[in-house]
């Protein structure tokens, strides 16, 4: 059975007023052997939904603004094995977020159309919606109206447009551990998805961001000429195989609560997040300040940021420990080599000291692992007792 899933995304620059263009673009998208088609800037309203779905011939999801601006759609191939568990659509025609299973692969899927202006709050909303579905697999696509790298992804663009939005996209990438599959595969290539003439300007505004597990299932990713638009189309194909599993859920390492450096970083993260959404109040009493969002939204954002901080800190800490252990082992090897050829008491003492240092380092790791296992087992027992 062919479990390959091909997703095409393209800014179509309006499909409402021209039924012939719409039929032509629908047919063109189907000719690319697509499983899911994501369109941006459809210029649609609620009245078109049944008609457009009939024209497409299968299930569609729509987000509308009006017949002259914005609008996005997600359109599924007839016969595709999928189930949509939940969906969120924007009232301003800017995004659709789906909790969907395609074949055996469950993921959070978003089609979005970013603002031309610097609107970081828009990407906060995207982040919260993705977070609410709690899937480990994530795929985002669309016309972001923000480049990821001004040097590599623009031509003859002088100004650094939408810098705050870019920071938010970087945060999404960090929180969900996402990759830009095209840039990952072609790190040195320059290819653009939007172009303007007189004067010539070009940018790569359209791209996918995907979780690492989906990248491991990737068959191909490419930028192809668009059709009846000033944007290119982007394509991502992956295999939704039963045999391949996504990454596991992240579990907090309680040993971090004994780490003074980590605790300071969390405190700073809390303070910085409050400052980001601060409206008024005494910053010396953080519990009493007024924020630009409600308490639940702020709490979800803060949890997300602490999660990201914790994951990155744990990864870096683990690398440091591995490098330190490797350095000790190399030192021991060098000292043993010297002892083999030119033994003396000074070298022998250094060798014993390094071996003891390595043993102490390893013992600490063993103790940490034992405590972590005890914590996990206690949690599992508690869950069993709760279920009974």
377 exposure class (CB count in 10 Å sphere: 0-12, 13-18, 19+): exposed
d(CA 104, CA 336): 54
Alpha helices (runs of H) in 31-119, residue ranges in sequence order: 49-56
Q: Which residues contact 331 (CB under 8 A, 6 or more apart)?
A: 354
d(CA 121, CA 218): 31
Terminal-residue alpha carbon distance, the chain: 41
**Binding positions:** 11, 41, 143, 145, 230-231
Contact 181/148 with Cβ under 8 angstroms? no
**Binding positions for Mg(2+):** 11, 41, 143, 145, 230-231
d(CA 166, CA 144): 10
Contact 231/13 with Cβ under 8 angstroms? yes
Contact 211/139 with Cβ under 8 angstroms? yes
Rounded to the nearest 5 degrees, what angle is found at the Cα of 86, between the Cα atoms of 85 and 88? Answer: 160
User: What radius of gyration, in Å, describes the C-alpha atoms of the chain?
Assistant: 26
Rounded to the nearest 5 degrees, what angle is found at the Cα of 293, between the Cα atoms of 290 and 294? Answer: 85
Contact 162/132 with Cβ under 8 angstroms? no
- The DSSP annotation for 306-369 comes to HHHHHHHHHHHHHHHHHHHHHHHHHHHHHHHHHHHHS--HHHHHHHHHHHHHHHHHHHHHHHHH
Contact 168/124 with Cβ under 8 angstroms? yes
330 exposure class (CB count in 10 Å sphere: 0-12, 13-18, 19+): exposed
For the chain, counts of helices (H) and of strands (E): 10, 17
């Amino acid at each position: 059975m062919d479990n390959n899933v091909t997703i095409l995304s393209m800014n179509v620059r309006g499909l409402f007023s021209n039924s012939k263009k719409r039929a032509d673009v629908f047919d063109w998208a189907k000719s690319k052997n697509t499983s899911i088609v994501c369109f941006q800037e459809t210029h649609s309203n609620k009245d078109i939904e049944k008609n457009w779905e009939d024209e497409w011939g299968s299930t569609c999801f729509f987000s509308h603004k009006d017949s002259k601006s914005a609008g996005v759609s997600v359109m599924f191939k007839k016969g595709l094995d999928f189930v949509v568990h939940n969906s969120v659509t924007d009232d301003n025609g800017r995004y659709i977020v789906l909790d969907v299973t395609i074949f055996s692969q469950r993921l959070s899927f978003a089609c979005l159309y970013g603002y031309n202006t610097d609107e970081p709050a828009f990407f906060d909303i995207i982040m919260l919606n993705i977070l609410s579905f709690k899937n480990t697999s994530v795929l985002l696509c669309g016309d972001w109206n923000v480049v990821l790298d001004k040097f590599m992804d623009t031509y003859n663009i002088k100004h650094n447009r939408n810098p705050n939005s870019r920071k938010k996209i970087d945060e999404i990438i960090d929180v969900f551990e996402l990759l830009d599959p095209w840039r990952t595969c072609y790190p040195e290539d320059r290819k653009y998805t939007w172009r303007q003439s007189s004067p010539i300007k070009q940018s790569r505004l359209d791209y996918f961001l995907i979780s690492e597990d989906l990248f491991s299932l990737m068959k191909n990713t490419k930028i192809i000429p668009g059709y009846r638009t000033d944007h290119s189309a982007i394509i991502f194909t992956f295999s939704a195989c039963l045999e391949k599993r996504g990454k596991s859920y992240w579990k907090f390492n309680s040993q971090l609560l004994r780490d003074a450096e980590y605790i300071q970083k969390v405190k700073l993260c809390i303070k910085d997040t409050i400052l980001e959404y601060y409206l008024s109040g005494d910053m010396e009493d953080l519990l009493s300040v007024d924020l630009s969002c409600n308490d639940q939204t702020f709490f979800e954002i803060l949890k997300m940021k602490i999660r990201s901080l914790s994951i990155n800190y744990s990864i870096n800490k683990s690398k440091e420990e591995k490098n330190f252990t490797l350095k000790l082992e190399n030192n021991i090897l060098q000292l043993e080599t010297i002892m083999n050829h030119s033994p003396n008491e000074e070298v022998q003492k250094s060798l014993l000291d390094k071996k003891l240092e390595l043993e102490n380092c390893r013992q600490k790791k063993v103790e940490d692992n034992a405590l972590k296992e005890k914590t996990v087992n206690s949690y599992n027992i508690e869950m069993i007792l709760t279920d009974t």
